[in-house]
């Protein structure tokens, strides 16, 4: 393996790892969705690099190793520098809608993070330009390196806290530079190699920690909490799932008890505050085995299911510090399965604070599972009397309306069906959400439950539902069986004694609604009644927020945005109605617009201005259209596949890491094989392989596109039932199966880019950076666009669109380039002419 | 005009401008009516008055109580924000006051104050002093305000500021708001601007029968809705949830 190819792999690993890391770091210091915004814009550095190379390619070509090394080293240095500067900018995402100055800071963030990606893209783009005969191999190392980066960064985040991890990843830049310089011959290489190695070491471990130390926004819950006298972080753990901080507050205790009735007079016992990525808190509650101090829990809406079943077997999905496990124990549960995604959170309760939590998770009647909630239920054969899904998101996160981009497979129709199928006879599914006004969460969940029951062919599904609300929470019950008269009486008594309002009960009279927490109109009751009745469809159509149930194909439970209400809501901003707007959706939309504008400004415009006469206009348009098309298509399939396999692998982080790296590695292998396939298909007579003979009327590109189409559409049809069947398998087998399915698809998807780029580099060499830049833009736009499309139409549509784009791409390149006919006619396609019109 | 002359003229203009700026900066910021903030303050009050209550009219009227508006036309909001935010002190938006806290949007302050229905003889408890601005507004409409701030540095600044501005009927205490202010209880009105996962039972206890408690729900820059807790003469509790804006989520079936 040549050190130059290895350098490309190392650098690409660094780029992908830093994208993942920046997302983590932004989530900790600011809020998650801004990571999305900043990184997608910064990736346009890839596009800008195409322009840069189109202009300076010839000059840089002569000194390839040096140019590569400088850019690779700069990637690492600027990543650390940009992060250190970004942390010192007074950017406050929360104030963006009020303070125009924040826009300037946001622009500064874009600029800062564009630089490292620009440098990295220069390296790879330059390699393509300098070695046109090895494009397939270069692309292979690029993709395989990126795949390794995707897996490696997840492993790294288990070993290191995010800030040192970022420095370690940045050090891959100068490491790649060192490798590139090794390819130089003679003694001249010694000093640069040593110098770059020192830079790499310095980045990884030599810099003062304070330089990149995480500075949480002062508006994060954790920052605010730590200002309270006598508070301290008593434990902190980090993993790819999040930075978990446990805070003790001795003078002014935590008293976390959402959904608590105003009729309650009991103060919660001592608690430790648990913050994830600075948001929260949730609580670890002191427990000495006595149940009396927990009686306040019976005054929350979450307690309702326990008033309908005796001595239940319970599963708590999202157990965190254990509040809902305590609730179950308080009500005499005979067994509780506590499911928590983050093993670090579990360890806090079982090890470090075991005495404080009264050995909650090691009791004989409690069993704790480190697993994703829905996957746990899908994979178990157990049946439960109560399946409890408590409040999983921090109030501030929910309140900011920025969850809408989060795919959530926990609250889809299919997910609810899985929970309902795991209920024992007369068992109850109970889901609690924060109350929002006008109602959104609770009504969408209600509609989702109805849809799930209908999918199961349940007769009279509305007779199984009950919904109550306190002043800040709502709890939905879905019973496995019709609610009996006794159930209804018990629910009424429960609600009345705690001043909770009935939102929906079968046969409930309108006058029973809106009694304690009074709204100007009984919106909750009216909504639920309409959804349960014959006018559901027209109600959903009329409502100003999107209440259509989320499905696995369109898993955006938190997306309530409708353009129809946009102008009305925007006008209400100054009147205190800002929270009614779905900012997550708008930010996504803004990202797409910005990316479009910047793509034109950074890439297309400069290339058009300096277009010279490198190629016939028709060829240029075809190259442009082709690379744009396959860029979109590749990412559409990738994004949709991540979503699909996430449902199967049941883990947000590992699934993304496995799927992404499998995609990249196998696409890399495919791209390495592409030129060979093309040559064998071209060699018309005498090839004895009967398969190849049959394929010979087609180009390699057409063969690849046909394979992609068949596999992608085949997966759409076959995978959902297959995954349901394979769901109970263990993690390792599921990962192996996922990789086995991804491999052939990704392998063929790796081909269209190098196949076409080789053709371009042979016939129209000045257009190579162009193609690289256009592809970079497409990758940014497509990631955003795929999400927008999926939110509106579902992932199936995204995949079908991708297949159509691949077919279109093959059609675009069917005919030979015009330049091929006029080949080598003077300087017409000479590289210099592009900068000297 | 030659280039050199142009440059000289430029320098003179610059010096003149600097002189003017220095003069402005040297002038003390008065708190009395008639200062440079009078106009923006009046504009703010006018805007709030125009917006008023939306479709939710908990007092059965569309307009905000003129007494509340009059007070907000007096209280120097610019004194409650940092120097660099003074120019936007009277725009209808929340502003950061340090320590991850904000001073609320003027409209929301007006709605909350209106909702309290203050009388001159009433005693008010506030949980979450912040900058002290809301306490100043309430203090001008009530007999006495007791306010508790969890962050000591904020409590200290607010206490000094309120004293300097002459709000002598406000008492600020750093500490835990959960138990209210036992020695000054019961209260006619309670205002809870601190983030709470539930309404502390001691506060409900310290609310006088016939009293009202107002709680804004939402994040630092993202106000959601208001919760009004009422304790009737018999001591039983009712809450109301109020959206400040005129927004009907569904169009009725025709």
Looking up residue A70, the CATH number of its domain turns out to be 1.20.1250
Give the CATH number of the domain where residue B113 resides: 3.40.50.150
A623 is a domain residue? yes
Over the range A673-682, which residues count as b (16 or more CB within 10 Å of their CB) and which as e? Answer: bbbebbeebe
Chain A residue closest to B88 (CA)? A99
DSSP A203: I
* A385 shares a domain with A471: yes
Asked if residue A494 belongs to a domain, the reply is: yes
Q: What's the whole-number average pLDDT of chain A?
A: 87
CA distance B5 to chain A (A): 36
Q: Are residues A147 and A234 in the same domain?
A: no
A567 — pLDDT class (breaks 50, 70, 90): confident
Query: CA-CA distance, A451 to B41, in Å (whole number)?
Result: 53
Domain of residue A454, CATH code = 3.40.50.150
What pLDDT is recorded for position A396?
A: 59
Four-residue CA torsion sign, A323, A326, A331, A333: positive
User: Does pLDDT of A819 surpass 70?
Assistant: no
- Residues in chain B closer than 8 A to A298 (CB atoms): none
Strands B123-127 and B187-192: parallel
- Please tell me the distance from the alpha carbon of residue A73 to that of residue A164, in angstroms, as a whole number: 18
Shortest Cα–Cα distance, B152 to chain A (Å) = 8
According to DSSP, residue A816 is labeled: P
Q: How far is CA B214 from the centre of its chain?
A: 13
pLDDT, position A758: 87
β-bridge mates for residue A664, sequence order: none
Nearest by CB to residue A543, choosing from B111, B220, B250, is B250
pLDDT for res A33: 66
Identify whether residues A514 and A473 lie together within a single domain. yes
Q: Domain range for residue A306?
A: 293-555
CB contact set of A716 (below 8 Å; sequence gap of 6+): A796, A799, A800
Q: Is B140 a catalytic residue?
A: no
- The string of pLDDT tens digits covering residues A118-151 is 999 999 989 988 888 888 889 899 999 999 998 9
Which residues contact residue A541 at a Cβ distance below 8 angstroms, ignoring those fewer than 6 apart? none
Report angle CA A230, A235, A239 to the nearest 5 degrees.
140
Q: Quick one: pLDDT at residue B4?
A: 43
The C-alpha torsion from A723 through A417 and A453 to A477, rounded to 10°, is: -170
Category of A485 on φ-ψ map: left (φ > 0), alpha (ψ -120 to 50) or beta: alpha
Between chains, do A535 and B253 touch, taking CB under 8 Å as contact? Answer: yes
Strand residue runs (E) in chain B: 95-98, 101-103, 123-127, 144-149, 170-174, 187-192, 207-218, 223-231, 237-242
**ipTM score:** 0.84
The neighbour count for residue A484, using CB atoms within 10 Å, is 13
- For helices B106-116 and B38-51, angle between their N-to-C axes, nearest 10 degrees: 60
- Average pLDDT over every residue of A160-167: 91
Residue B9 has pLDDT above 50, yes or no: no
Which of the given ranges, A147-151, A260-264, A425-429, B21-25, has the highest pLDDT on average?
A425-429
Chain B contact set for A93 (CB, 8 A): none
Task: At A322, list the tokens.
Answer: 């254990």
Q: What are the tens digits of pLDDT across the range B27-73?
A: 333 444 457 899 999 999 999 999 888 767 777 788 899 999 999 99
Contact B51 A574 (CB under 8 A): yes
Chain CA centroid to CA A199, Å? 33
Q: In the beta sheet, which residues pair with residue B217?
A: B225
- Binary contact (A569, B96; C-beta < 8 A): no
Q: How many structural domains are present in chain B?
A: 1
Residues A193 and A231 in one domain: no
pLDDT higher than 70, residue A294: yes
Q: Residues A191, A261: one domain?
A: no
For residue A684, which phi and psi values (nearest 5 degrees)? -65, -75
Residue B65 inside a domain? The answer is yes
Residue A426 pLDDT: 96
The verdict on A323 and A423 lying in the same domain is: yes
Tokens of A722: 């297959």
Q: Which of A251, A265, A568 sits opposite B201 (nearest CB)?
A: A265
Secondary structure of residue A240 in the 3-state scheme:
coil
Distance, CA of A550 to CA of A446 (rounded, Å) = 11
Q: Is B228 on the interface with A (CB under 8 A)?
A: no
The domain tally of chain A equals 4
Cα–Cα distance measured from residue A287 to residue A304, given in angstroms and rounded to the nearest whole number: 22
User: Which structural domain, as residue segments, surrounds residue B55?
Assistant: 38-242
Residue A393 is predicted with a pLDDT of: 74
Is the predicted pLDDT of residue A614 greater than 80, yes or no?
no
Residues A170 and A139 placed together within one structural domain of the fold: yes
- B60 inside domain: yes
**Eight-state DSSP code of residue B29:** -
Best mutation target, B192, B243, B244, B251, to test chain A (most A CBs within 10 A) = B243
Q: In the predicted model, is pLDDT for residue B166 greater than 50?
A: yes
Q: Is the pLDDT of residue A823 over 70?
A: no
DSSP calls for A75-108: HHHHHHHHHHHHHHS---GGGTTT-THHHHHHHH
Structure tokens at A745: 């698809």
pLDDT tens digits, B192-228: 988 777 889 999 999 999 999 999 887 767 778 889 9
Judged by DSSP in three states, A267 sits in coil
Q: What is the predicted pLDDT for the residue at A687?
A: 59
* Closest C-alpha to A829, from A763, A774, A768: A763
Asked whether residue A688 falls in the same domain as residue A706, the answer is yes
pLDDT above 90 covers what percent of chain A? 54
Separation of alpha carbons B205 and B179, rounded Å? 10
Residue B33 is predicted with a pLDDT of 47
Residue B85 has which token pair? 């935010």
Whether A202 is covered by a domain: the verdict is yes
Question: Are residues A742 and A660 part of one domain?
Answer: yes
A568 touching B (Cβ < 8 Å): yes
């Amino acid at each position: 393996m040549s050190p130059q190819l290895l350098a490309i792999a190392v650098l690409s690993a660094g780029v992908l790892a830093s994208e993942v890391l920046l997302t983590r770091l932004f989530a900790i210091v600011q809020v998650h969705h801004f990571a999305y915004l900043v990184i997608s814009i910064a990736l346009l550095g890839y596009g800008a690099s195409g322009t840069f190379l189109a202009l300076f390619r010839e000059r840089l070509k002569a000194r390839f190793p040096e140019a590569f090394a400088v850019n690779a080293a700069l990637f690492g240095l600027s990543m650390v520098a940009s992060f250190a500067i970004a942390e010192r900018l007074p950017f406050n995402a929360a104030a963006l809608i009020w303070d125009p100055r924040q826009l300037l800071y946001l622009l500064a963030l874009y600029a800062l993070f564009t630089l490292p990606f620009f440098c990295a893209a220069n390296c790879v783009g330059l390699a393509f330009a300098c070695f046109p005969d090895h494009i397939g191999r270069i692309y292979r190392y690029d993709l395989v390196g990126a795949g390794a980066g995707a897996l490696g960064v997840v492993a790294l985040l288990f070993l290191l806290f995010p800030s040192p991890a970022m420095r370690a990843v940045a050090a891959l830049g100068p490491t790649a530079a060192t490798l590139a310089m090794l390819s130089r011959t003679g003694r001249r290489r010694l000093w640069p190699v040593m110098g770059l190695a020192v830079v790499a070491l310095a980045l990884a471990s030599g810099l003062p920690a304070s330089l990149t130390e995480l500075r949480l926004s002062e508006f994060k819950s954790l920052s605010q909490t730590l200002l309270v006298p006598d508070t301290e972080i008593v434990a902190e753990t980090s993993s790819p799932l999040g930075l978990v901080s446990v805070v003790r507050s001795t003078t002014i205790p935590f008293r976390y008890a959402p959904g608590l009735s105003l009729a309650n007079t009991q103060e919660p016992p001592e608690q430790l505050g648990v913050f994830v990525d600075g948001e929260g808190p949730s609580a670890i509650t002191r427990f000495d085995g006595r149940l009396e101090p927990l009686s306040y829990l019976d005054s929350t809406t979450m307690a309702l299911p326990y008033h309908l079943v005796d001595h239940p077997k319970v599963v708590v999905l999202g157990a965190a510090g254990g509040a809902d496990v305590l609730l179950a124990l308080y009500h005499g549960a005979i067994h509780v399965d506590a499911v928590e995604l983050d093993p670090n959170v579990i360890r806090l309760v079982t090890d470090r604070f075991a005495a404080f939590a009264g050995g909650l998770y090691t009791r004989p009647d409690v069993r704790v599972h480190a697993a994703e909630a829905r996957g746990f239920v899908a994979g178990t054969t157990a049946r439960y009397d109560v399946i409890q899904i408590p409040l999983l998101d921090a109030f501030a996160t929910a309140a900011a309306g920025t969850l809408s981009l989060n795919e959530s497979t926990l609250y889809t129709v299919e997910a609810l069906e899985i929970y309902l199928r795991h209920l024992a006879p007369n068992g109850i599914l109970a889901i609690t959400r924060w109350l929002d006004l006008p109602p959104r969460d609770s009504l969408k969940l209600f509609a989702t439950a109805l849809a799930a029951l209908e999918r199961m062919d349940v007769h009279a599904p509305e007779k199984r539902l009950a919904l109550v609300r306190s002043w800040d929470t709502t709890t939905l019950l879905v019973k496995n069986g019709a609610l009996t008269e006794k159930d209804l009486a018990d629910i009424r008594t429960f609600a009345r004694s705690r001043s909770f309002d009935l939102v929906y009960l079968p046969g409930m009279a309108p006058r029973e609604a809106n009694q304690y927490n009074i709204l100007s109109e009984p919106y909750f009751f009216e909504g639920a009644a309409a959804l349960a009745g014959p006018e559901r469809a027209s109600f959903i159509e009329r409502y100003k927020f999107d209440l259509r149930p989320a499905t696995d194909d369109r898993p955006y439970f938190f997306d309530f945005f409708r353009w129809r209400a946009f102008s009305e809501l925007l006008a209400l901003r100054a009147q205190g109605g800002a929270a009614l707007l779905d900012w997550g959706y708008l930010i996504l939309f803004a990202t797409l617009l910005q990316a479009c504008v910047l793509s034109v400004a950074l890439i297309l415009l400069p290339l058009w201005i300096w277009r010279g006469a490198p190629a016939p206009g028709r060829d240029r348009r075809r190259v442009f259209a082709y690379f744009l098309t396959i860029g979109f298509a590749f990412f559409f399939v990738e994004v949709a596949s991540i979503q699909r396999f996430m449902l199967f692998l049941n883990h947000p982080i590992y699934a993304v890491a496995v799927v992404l790296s499998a995609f990249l590695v196998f696409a890399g292998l495919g791209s390495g094989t592409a030129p060979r396939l093309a040559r064998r298909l071209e060699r018309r007579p005498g090839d004895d392989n009967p398969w190849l003979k049959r394929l010979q009327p087609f180009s390699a590109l057409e063969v690849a596109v046909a394979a992609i189409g068949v596999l992608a559409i085949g997966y759409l049809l076959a995978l959902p039932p297959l995954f349901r069947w394979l769901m109970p398998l263990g993690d390792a087998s599921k990962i192996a199966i996922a990789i086995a399915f991804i491999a052939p698809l990704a392998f063929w998807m790796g081909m269209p880019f190098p196949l076409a780029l080789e053709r371009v580099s042979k016939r129209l060499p000045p257009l190579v950076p162009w193609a690289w830049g256009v592809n970079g833009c497409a990758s940014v736009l497509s990631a955003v666009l795929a999400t927008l499309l999926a939110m509106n139409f579902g992932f199936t549509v995204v995949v079908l669109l991708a297949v159509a784009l691949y077919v279109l791409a093959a059609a675009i390149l069917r005919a030979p380039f015009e330049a091929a006919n006029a080949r080598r006619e003077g300087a017409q396609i000479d590289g210099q002419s592009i900068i000297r019109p | 005009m030659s280039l050199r002359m142009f440059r000289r003229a430029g320098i003179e203009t610059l010096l003149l401008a600097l002189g003017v700026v220095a003069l402005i900066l040297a002038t003390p910021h008065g708190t009395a009516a008639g200062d440079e903030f009078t106009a923006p303050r009046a504009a703010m009050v006018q805007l709030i008055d125009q917006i008023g209550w939306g479709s939710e009219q908990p007092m059965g009227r569309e307009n905000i109580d003129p007494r509340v508006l009059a007070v907000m036309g007096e209280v120097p909001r610019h004194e409650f924000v940092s120097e660099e935010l003074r120019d936007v002190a009277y725009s209808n938006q929340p502003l950061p006051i340090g320590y991850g806290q904000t001073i609320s949007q003027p409209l929301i302050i007006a709605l909350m104050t209106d909702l309290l229905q203050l009388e001159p003889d009433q005693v008010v408890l506030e949980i979450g002093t912040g900058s002290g601005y809301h306490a100043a507004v309430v203090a001008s409409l009530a007999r006495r305000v007791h306010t508790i701030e969890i962050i000591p540095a904020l409590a200290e600044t607010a206490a000094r500021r309120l004293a300097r501005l002459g709000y002598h009927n406000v008492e600020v205490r750093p500490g835990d708001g959960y138990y209210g202010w036992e020695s000054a209880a019961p209260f006619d009105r309670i205002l809870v601007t601190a983030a709470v996962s539930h309404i502390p039972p001691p506060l409900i206890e310290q609310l006088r029968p016939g009293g009202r408690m107002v709680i804004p729900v939402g994040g630092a820059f993202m106000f959601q809705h208001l919760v009004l807790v009422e304790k009737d003469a018999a001591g039983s509790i009712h809450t109301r949830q109020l959206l400040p804006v005129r927004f009907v989520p569904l169009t009725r079936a025709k």
